[in-house]
A and B are shown apart, each in its own frame.
Chain A
Amino acid sequence: MKIAYYPGCTLKNRARDLDRYARETASALGCEFEEIPLWQCCGGAYTSAKDEIATKLAAVRALAAGRDMGGRVVTVCSACFNVLAQTNREFLVNPDFDFKVNNYLKGDPAYHGEASVVHYLTLLRDEIGFDAVKARVTNPLKGKKIAAYYGCLLLRPSEALAFDDPEDPSVMEDFIRALGAEPVNYSMRNECCGGYLTLEDREAAKKRSNAVVRSAAENGADFMITACPLCMYNLTKNADEKIPVRYFTDVLAEAFGLKEGAAE
């Protein structure tokens, strides 16, 4: 299986592991991530909070490329996933947006929301299947208590993302079980880490991150996993309590025995 892949900027610098292990693990599962040529920044969740078409055009270009490369775009970063999926939905519910964007881009052919946006986690759940993941695990993470951290961008707005139940999600917990580890049930897993607030009001972001990490630690987590570079930043840099935070692809690679130094 080949699928158009949109990495996003952070995955090319700060979050190189997130990118690298996503490709390697997918490949190990027989799925080729084909990077969209000449992709641009998705615009980020921050800018798309504004009702401004220009900030969404880059996402539309990625979506159109996905349409031309087989109809789907897979992402790994929560923010990219959120922006792409929300922008795509806009085409389906807002004809005015469709009209303006196509007037602006004059793409050939015009784009009308034909592509579908999938996150690597839902790709694992819905198409590859966690059973197949489990079968590929060579280095099961036995005895590890892992706290799945969803944050907000993977889950909300749930109508647009269609990712999981925003109040009681389960995909990451199932993922953790497939790797042979034990998911930690803690209530802050779908709460905000503070996000971009860390730029404007660091104290507020700290408060959020602290609440999340404390809740995970209280419930006995050995480490946390996330899909989002920004969550990674907040949880590691802004929380007072220190427990390791890792990308889910990193953990997946470890379970698959793809990391250097890991026991095969």
Chain B
Amino acid sequence: MRKIGVFVCHCGTNIAATVDVKAVAETLGREPSVVVSEDYPYMCSESGQNLIKDSIRDYGLDGIVICSCSPRMHENTFRKAAASAGLNPYMVEIANIREQCSWIHKDKAEATEKAILLGKAAIAKVLLNTPLIAGESGVVKRALVIGGGIAGIQTALDIAEAGFPVDIVEQKPTIGGKMAQLDKTFPTLDCSACILTPKMVDCAQNENIKIYSYSEIESVSGFVGNFTVKIRRKARYVDETKCTGCGLCTEKCPVKKVPNEFNLGLDNRRAVYIPFAQAVPKIAAIDADYCNMLKNGKCGLCSKVCTVGAIDYKQEDTFVEERYGAIVAATGYEIADVSRYGEYAYNQSKDVVTSLELERLMNAAGPTGGTLLRPSDGKHPHTIVFVQCVGSRCTPDKGKPYCSKICCMYTAKHAMLIREKYPDTEVYVFYIDVRTPGKNFDEFWRRAVEEFGVHYIKGAVGKISPRPDGTLDVQGSDLLMDEQLHISADLVVLAAAIEPSKTARSLATMLTASMDTNDFFTEAHPKLRPVESPTAGIFLSGVCQGPKDIPETVAQASACAAKVIGLLSKDKLKGNPCVAHSDEMMCNGCSNCANVCPYGAITYSDKEFRMPDRTTKTRRVAWVNPAVCQGCGACTVACPSGAMDLLGFSNSQIMAEVDALCR
């Protein structure tokens, strides 16, 4: 007969006000196997824990039940206390009589009855508990950062600074991401490139950092502490070890009409190109879609002018395989497609641009050399209308349901910069709400209104009509004045919604990391574990987790690095012993469990079994990798033959709880 102790917590008045804790302790004390049952105001306090420890020793308890708050809150606390008194920590059960009882009930008699039932269920379960010991696995002391924008750069720099090797995989020919395309940054209006490019150079120079540019993730296997990743290095037709970045090839290339993606197609580049002057690595790449030599074998000019012989038309994609202890997703964002909103005439007029396009139009390294000119006729615009929330805060069939968060601030920035540089220009901003929480943020947009005379109009734009004279008729409503407005604008700027990178979804599948309905990566806990994915060993940095501005992205990137460093500084990882395991004798190899496993923890192998008639038979059976299994239990439910069981939450334990509740 096992000896069980029951400990009922008052949680001050949190529980005791609605549950008669004395009655609970007394009733549960009469349950078979229970040898001691106590109540105490704060069981989690030091003296409360001492009460538990002393009882374990004095009564020689085999298992304990704590009637208290959610196990998410204090299960670990009580497990530690039990362990220090010599009891296996997995012989502790929590009956949640706070969140699931006292907090949600008003009637004391009913709540008390329910608390007693919950306690009885926990006792029934703990009687079937078995001591569990967590396994250990090694840690590969190398991190992978996927994405080389400011988020990935910051995370990589911090990890490298702590002494661990880290690889950055970036799909474009250079790192830098969206921040490299921005002109100025809010709220201080400092030059974006000036604060970003030193960090890019730091990455290139740090001996712990290796940059795989123009590369993509091909496959991921393994588990926390021990991932194996295959990286595709796309053919850039330029030998990275030879190219000096002199740019001669990019000047001589005869194919001049390739839309320049760095300037969002506002001007052209050559077929062989270096994305921008401060690119890291500063190595040319040949665009196979446009290069004459690669398309039809006629040209070869770049090869002729290259003084170091770096051009290699025969180059093919290559693959690198590397092992990592931790993986960071830093895949960033894209600008949502605004051409689907026909009312804004983005497709009809060149003078309707997105805010990111405006960044390029105002950037000294942009297509206009930093002078704000209209894309249609190169004239200076005198009336500019900004439209906020384009595609954000929509019903899901029309756009993004979320607020893109950065647009209010960058629009205020644009408006202010334009008014400062071109005082003869009138600037109007149509907004739904101005959302500027953040340090020095509200002051910033108020300055746009109060000092720079930007006209903020509360209301939406209904239609933008290009007129034959080249102006844009912007029809909108002013909700505060209750008026319909027509503004004749020279340039319209759409603050387009941001959305996760198109590559994020397939990456999440490879990483078995979960995503929300908008394709943002889900964090392990929205408040308490914001930089970790629920999948162990996968971490989140930057906008891939949700819309963020640069300061927030950098803060999160460093937080993410801290978590990675914490993982990599361990030599061994203690696993969660509450994992699934398969009874080979019952498994029929149907694959149901592997199909539902969100972590890819289940594999199959053919095994020989000895039959009663002394013959052997080969059967396909499931095996759960305990280092990968997160103990979610999906497989135990899916298994048709009952072969899958979860340690610590076995089918018999769950049934015993149900029986206790139904008794």
- Please list the residues of chain A having a beta carbon within 8 angstroms of any beta carbon in chain B: 165-168, 185-188, 191, 215, 218-220
Given A187-B463, A187-B473, A168 contacting B347 (CB threshold 8 A)? yes
Q: Do A219 and B342 have beta carbons less than 8 Å apart? A: no
A selection of 14 A-B contacts at a CB cut-off of 8 Å is A165-B342, A167-B343, A168-B342, A168-B347, A168-B348, A185-B348, A187-B464, A187-B466, A187-B473, A188-B465, A191-B463, A215-B465, A219-B468, A220-B468
Interface string of B470-490 (1 = CB under 8 A from A): 000100000000000000000
Which of B342, B463, B464 has the most CB atoms of chain A within a 10 A radius of its CB?
Answer: B342
Cα distance, A165 to B465, chains bound together (Å): 16
Given A185-B348, A187-B473, A218 contacting B467 (CB threshold 8 A)? yes
The answer to whether the Cβ of B345 comes within 8 Å of any Cβ in the partner chain is: yes
Q: How far is the CB of A84 from chain B (nearest CB, A)?
A: 24
Q: Do B348 and A167 have beta carbons less than 8 Å apart? A: no
Closest to B472 in A: A187
- Contact residues of B between 341 and 358, Cβ < 8 Å to A: 341-343, 345, 347-348
- Contact residues of B between 484 and 529, Cβ < 8 Å to A: none
Closest to A190 in B: B342
Given A168-B347, A185-B348, A218 contacting B468 (CB threshold 8 A)? yes
Cα distance, A168 to B464, chains bound together (Å): 12
Which of A167, A191, A220 has the most CB atoms of chain B within a 10 A radius of its CB?
Answer: A167
Residues of B within 8 A of A185 (CB): 348
Residues of B within 8 A of A220 (CB): 468
Q: Do B341 and A187 have beta carbons less than 8 Å apart? A: no
Cα distance, A123 to B32, chains bound together (Å): 79
Closest to B464 in A: A187
Closest to A220 in B: B468
Cα distance, A215 to B345, chains bound together (Å): 15
Q: How far is the CB of B27 from chain A (nearest CB, A)?
A: 51
Q: How far is the CB of B94 from chain A (nearest CB, A)?
A: 47
Q: Do A187 and B345 have beta carbons less than 8 Å apart? A: yes
Cα distance, A188 to B347, chains bound together (Å): 16
Residues of A within 8 A of B467 (CB): 187, 218
Residues of B within 8 A of A165 (CB): 342
Closest to A218 in B: B468
Cα distance, A165 to B347, chains bound together (Å): 14
Residues of B within 8 A of A188 (CB): 465
Closest to A159 in B: B397
Residues of B within 8 A of A191 (CB): 463
Closest to B341 in A: A167
Q: How far is the CB of B484 from chain A (nearest CB, A)?
A: 11
Residues of A within 8 A of B466 (CB): 187
Closest to A167 in B: B342
Q: How far is the CB of A42 from chain B (nearest CB, A)?
A: 28
Interface string of B579-605 (1 = CB under 8 A from A): 000000000000000000000000000
The 9 closest A-B pairs by CB, nearest first: A167-B342, A168-B342, A187-B465, A167-B343, A218-B468, A219-B468, A165-B342, A187-B466, A167-B341
Residues of A within 8 A of B465 (CB): 186-188, 215
Cα distance, A185 to B466, chains bound together (Å): 9
Residues of A within 8 A of B342 (CB): 165-168
Residues of A within 8 A of B343 (CB): 167
Cα distance, A218 to B464, chains bound together (Å): 16
Residues of A within 8 A of B341 (CB): 167
Q: How far is the CB of B340 from chain A (nearest CB, A)?
A: 8
Q: How far is the CB of B62 from chain A (nearest CB, A)?
A: 60
Cα distance, A187 to B472, chains bound together (Å): 10
- Contact residues of B between 326 and 384, Cβ < 8 Å to A: 341-343, 345, 347-348
Residues of B within 8 A of A219 (CB): 468
Sample of 10 further A-B pairs with CB below 8 A, known A187-B467, A191-B463: A165-B342, A166-B342, A168-B347, A168-B348, A185-B348, A187-B345, A187-B348, A187-B466, A187-B473, A218-B467
Residues of A within 8 A of B348 (CB): 168, 185, 187
Closest to A169 in B: B342
Q: How far is the CB of A171 from chain B (nearest CB, A)?
A: 14
Q: How far is the CB of B485 from chain A (nearest CB, A)?
A: 15
Cα distance, A220 to B469, chains bound together (Å): 12
Closest to B348 in A: A185
Closest to A186 in B: B465
Which of A168, A185, A187, A188 has the most CB atoms of chain B within a 10 A radius of its CB?
Answer: A187
Closest to B473 in A: A187
Closest to A165 in B: B342
Q: How far is the CB of A157 from chain B (nearest CB, A)?
A: 13
Cα distance, A167 to B466, chains bound together (Å): 14
Interface string of B260-287 (1 = CB under 8 A from A): 0000000000000000000000000000
Residues of B within 8 A of A167 (CB): 341-343
Cα distance, A197 to B201, chains bound together (Å): 66
Residues of A within 8 A of B464 (CB): 187
Cα distance, A88 to B466, chains bound together (Å): 36
Q: How far is the CB of A10 from chain B (nearest CB, A)?
A: 29
Closest to B339 in A: A168
Closest to A185 in B: B348
Cα distance, A215 to B469, chains bound together (Å): 12
Cα distance, A220 to B341, chains bound together (Å): 25
Cα distance, A215 to B473, chains bound together (Å): 11
Cα distance, A219 to B466, chains bound together (Å): 10
Q: How far is the CB of A204 from chain B (nearest CB, A)?
A: 13
Closest to A187 in B: B465
Interface string of B538-549 (1 = CB under 8 A from A): 000000000000
Q: How far is the CB of A136 from chain B (nearest CB, A)?
A: 30
Cα distance, A168 to B463, chains bound together (Å): 11
- Contact residues of B between 415 and 449, Cβ < 8 Å to A: none
Q: How far is the CB of B496 from chain A (nearest CB, A)?
A: 16
Which of A165, A168, A186, A220 has the most CB atoms of chain B within a 10 A radius of its CB?
Answer: A168
Cα distance, A54 to B473, chains bound together (Å): 42
Closest to A168 in B: B342
Residues of A within 8 A of B463 (CB): 187, 191
Cα distance, A150 to B343, chains bound together (Å): 15
Q: How far is the CB of A213 from chain B (nearest CB, A)?
A: 14
Q: How far is the CB of B494 from chain A (nearest CB, A)?
A: 14
Cα distance, A168 to B345, chains bound together (Å): 8
Closest to A188 in B: B465
Cα distance, A240 to B467, chains bound together (Å): 19
Residues of B within 8 A of A187 (CB): 345, 348, 463-467, 473
